[in-house]
Amino acid sequence: MRLYKSEVIVLRDYDLGEQDKIVVFYSRRYGKIKVVAKGARRIKSRFAAQVQPPSYDSVVIHKATRGGLHTLSECKINYPFIGIRKNLLRFAYSCYLAELIDKCLEEEQPNSHLFELLVKTLYCLEKIPKQKLSLLMRSFEIKLLKILGYGLYLSRCINCGKEKGKIQSLFVSIKSGGLLCDDCQEEDKNRLEVSKKTVLLMNYLLHTSLKKTVQQNCDKAIEVELEAILKRYLSYQLSREMITSRFVCTSEKLELKHPII
Ligand SMILES: [Zn+2]
């Protein structure tokens, strides 16, 4: 019998029959992996607490034979992220992170950089002030795209090579994944105008640690412009919308009406 042992983040879970659950983990050693947690729907189950998103666990998994499902054998919580689970807005953001990882990756393609990024982002998400949460999300998106090889090309016009500093008005091509100059933008129907400050912010987020990023104060208008660009670029790359975006949006509105520290 082959065993998988790894640290994991619980991305999501769903019911399987009356007693079991399917749990989707993002693991350091094996990438995204789907397993059956037997009996996890029962209140007294040894797995009930451990397999709730976004727990950070150490697991032992029985590897499936001949195309069956992997089975969870042991599961120990390293860190439960209670602070995220207890706050609706933070929890909504964690669901968004999990959906991004889930949608961007095929099963069993390990990437330790991405695992580290997810764990660090969740630790920040639990602790930083609410005002910094959206910047944290943008930082995660930009770093994720870079790690997966879809980072936006930001130093020159991606079409003609004109240097960024010599371009009067900047645009982002969603299809080509980079900057466009004034001359090249007209032929690209799927492009957005972008301010120089937003391009500066994108470069900053790309090259700065999460911890340092969330200590900065950022102009809200620039953040909003960046969010719109990344949302459109991610939708294009994923060929679909993010389901949890609506949950995030509703939670943000609720937080504004009834702020919880
Ligand atoms: Zn150009």
Residue range 67-87, pLDDT digits in tens: 789 999 999 999 999 999 999
Ligand 1 centre from 155 Cα, in Å? Answer: 12
**For the domain 3-80, what is the CATH superfamily, name and number?**
Nucleic acid-binding proteins (2.40.50.140)
Distance 225 CA to ligand 1 centre (A): 22
Per-residue pLDDT reduced to its tens digit, 136-163: 999 999 999 999 999 999 999 999 999 9
> What share of the chain has pLDDT > 70, as a percent?
98
pTM of the model: 0.93
Distance from residue 79's CA to the centre of ligand 1 (Å): 48
Only one residue has tokens 């937080």, namely 255
| 9, amino acid identity | I
- 149's tokens: 């090889």
For 30-48, letters b (16+ CB in 10 Å) and e give: bbbbebbbbebbeeebebe
Pick the CATH number of 88-257 from 2.70.98.40, 1.10.3720.10, 3.40.920.10, 1.20.1440.120: 1.20.1440.120
Q: How far is the CA of 150 from the centre of ligand 1 (A)?
A: 20
Q: Look up residue 28 and give its two tokens.
A: 């350091």
Query: Which tokens in the block code for residue 12?
Result: 């999501």
197 CA distance to ligand 1 middle (Å): 19
Locus of tokens 């679909």? 240
Domain ranges of the chain: 3-80, 88-257
Tell me, what's the pLDDT at 45?
84
Are the beta carbons of 84 and 54 closer than 8 angstroms? yes
Domains 3-80 and 88-257 share a fold: no
DSSP 63: P
